[in-house]
Structure formats: C-alpha cells, structure tokens
Amino acid sequence: MGKIIFGDQILERSDVHIDLEDRGYQFGDGVYEVIRVYSGKLFTMKEHIERLFQSAQKIKLDISMSPEKIQELTEELVKENRVDFGSIYMQITRGAAPRTHMFPKPESNTKAVFTAYTNEVPRPVSLFEKGVAAITTEDIRWLRCDIKSLNLLPNVLAKQEATDYDCFEAILHRNGIVTEGSSSNAYIVKNGEVITHPADRLILNGITRQVLVELCKANGIPFVEKEFDLRDLKDADEVFISSTTSEVMPVIKLDVETVGDGTPGKITRKLQALFEARINQDTKVEI
C-alpha cells in the first residue's frame, strides 16, 4: 500500500480516484515503466524514464512533466514508502474524456494522468540458481512492440498459457522466428556467442538488455543481434531471459525438453555475476 504519485503530487492511495472514463482504463491508451529498487536506490532510472518519454512520443502523448520532475517524485516516493528491495510501477494515460476513439480535442483541456506506486519485491535468487522452465507460443501481438504500451492482452494470454503448464515464461515466435518473452527479452548462447532478436519494432528494447549489451562488450563476450528460429532455440547451448524483475534468468527447460545439460549455462552464470556486480556498483549505499 503506502503512498502513490498522482499527477505531480504524492498522496495517500485511498485519496486518489481514477475516472471511469480514463482512456487508460477504457482503451489501454497509455504507456508504462517498471523500475527496480535495490537497497532503497533506483536502478537504471534515467534509462527507464527516457524510455517512458520515447514510448509516449510514439503514441503522440504529451507527458507535460519534465523527466527531472518524474525522477524527483519517484525518488521521493521510494523514500516515503521506505522501499528497500522492490519496484516502482509508473504509467501515464491520455486522461479522462467522453469515450470516443479519437484523441480528445485540445480545447477539451484533457490532461494526461500520471500515476505511480511501489511494491516490495525480493530478488528471486533461488530461481537465478536453479533456472526456470518456459514454453514457446505464437507471438500474436501488434507490430509496435517497441512501445511499452498498456495494451498487454496478448502478453497476458501468453503468460497464462505458460502458467497453465507450470512454466515461468512464454517465449514468443512469429512464423518460427523467436522475438522475446511475454514480459522479458530472450537469448540463446551458441558456440560462445550470445544471440538475441534485433531491437526493432517487434520487441521491446529492454533496459536490462541494454545493460547486458554493455557488459558483453566490456567483457569480450560476443553479442550478436540477429534473428534466430525455434530450431536454433531448441539446439542452443544455453537459453536465458532478461527483465527488470527477473534480471538474468536461466531457462533450463523448453516445452518439456531440457536445455543443454539442464542446469544454468556458463555464459548465463557469468552474465548473472556481471549484472549483480553492476547493481552493487550503481546502488552502493554511501556511508
């Protein structure tokens, strides 16, 4: 529970009411971000806020608050709610207006609605060590998956399908080409190379993915952005997924088949260690 951000204010959650005709509620007309909190500090905050602005711009939504103001409010909320290990969810919608598909007219003075709240979320360390199972399923999303849009119905259906099979994630494919996970980016490791779908309109350019690109470059691990298919996925030496909440998560089972020897692979473990070092470096508590 705790406090939330509503517009440019921090308020008690119970004091905030969202209009029934908010376009986020009715059309999913908005964009969002999730930022991780480690030891009370926001990790890769600037990158997430920058992506929020990019997503908003791509759907022609005027945030009408500066990135600096959002950063200030976010840091304040994490402090107020005393979040130690957790996340902050933020979203912005095109505001409340009588329900018609087209954007509200400028003269209606409809304002974008910005909200954010925090959650306590422990790092899933035992899963990092054991790895997780995943299914593969068809990617039935639209063609602008680079936008972190509130419209997540295909992702929700894919994740539920994975859950029904007792799996952690659904890895999506378009006509056999692997794009990403339902809420993560997907990678294979083959002959020492990390391979992932190019950051085009068919995937979300994950912030965790961007950190991994940097870490691979800095540590001499070949990182290749190219298409790969379901056969490559099944024949991979290692498979892993990445996201803000799952960090670098080994996939050890795919559609009931074992990946590699059924344990997290060497390069995946190396990337986990490098990622953790990066978290520690960026969220060090100064004494």
Residues that bind ligand PLP (CB under 6 A): 155, 180, 183-185, 204, 206-209, 242-244
Tell me whether residue 208 is exposed, middle or buried, using C-beta atoms within 10 angstroms of its C-beta: 0 to 12, 13 to 18, 19 or more: buried
Is residue 157 within 8 A of residue 143, CB to CB? The reply is no
Q: 84: how many CB neighbours lie within 10 A of its CB?
A: 13
Q: Reply yes or no on whether 159 is catalytic.
A: no
List the catalytic residue out of 79, 105, 130, 148: 148
How near is the Cβ of 261 to ligand PLP at its closest, in Å?
A: 27
Choice between 94 and 197, CB closer to ligand PLP: 197
- Cα distances (angstroms) measured from residue 222 to each of 109, 185, 267: 51, 17, 11
Token match 């892993």: residue? 240
**How far is it, in rounded angstroms, from Cα 37 to Cα 34?**
10
How near is the Cβ of 203 to ligand PLP at its closest, in Å?
A: 6
How near is the Cβ of 186 to ligand PLP at its closest, in Å?
A: 9
Is residue 211 within 8 A of residue 155, CB to CB? The reply is no
How near is the Cβ of 115 to ligand PLP at its closest, in Å?
A: 18
Choice between 96 and 212, CB closer to ligand PLP: 212
- For ligand PLP, the nearest residue by Cβ is 206
Which tokens is 43 given? 């990790």
Choice between 88 and 96, CB closer to ligand PLP: 88
Catalytic residues, which ones?
Answer: 148
